[in-house]
Amino acid sequence: MMVINLIGLALIALIVWWFWLYKPSKAVDSSVESITIVVNDGVYQPSRIKVAAGKKTTLQFFRKDGSPCAATVLFPDVEISEELPLEVNKSVELPPMSSGEYPFHCPMKMYTGTLIVE
Ligand SMILES: [Cu+2]
């Protein structure tokens, strides 16, 4: 009985961790390491990117997904819309931004990412 209870508790802990505590991807800090955001398989990789507040930032995108929707990345809060050519490194310049979280996504929001400005 005791063993079964322990297994049950472990399962509950696992479920709590999975649904409430687990964050799928850690934010990558673009001011510390140079990063290329790969657009493929329905995700931006990495999808959470830290950038320094109050400074211009350049992000590199590399699109492997041939679908037309993935070809455009939108940063709605700073009114940026950029075409991402297939299999080519593309720089996207961001203006200085104030602290906060800013989403970026493709036109249909299948691809989504977050800029963490701090
Ligand atoms: Cu899309």
Ligand 1 mean position to 70 CA, how many Å?
5
pLDDT tens for each residue of 60-80: 999 999 999 999 999 999 999
Looking at residue 23, what is its pLDDT? Answer: 62
pLDDT tens for each residue of 22-62: 665 678 898 878 889 999 999 999 999 999 999 999 999 99
Number of neighbouring beta carbons within 10 Å of residue 92: 18
Ligand 1 mean position to 89 CA, how many Å?
19
Peptide bond into 46 cis (omega under 30): yes
Q: Number of C-alpha atoms within 13 angstroms, CB side, residue 93?
A: 2
Ligand 1 mean position to 22 CA, how many Å?
25
Ligand 1 mean position to 109 CA, how many Å?
5
Sketch out the chain's domains with CATH numbers. 25-117 (2.60.40.420)
Ligand 1 mean position to 92 CA, how many Å?
18
Task: Report how far apart, in Å, the C-alpha atoms of 9 and of each of 23, 42, 86 are.
Answer: 22, 35, 48
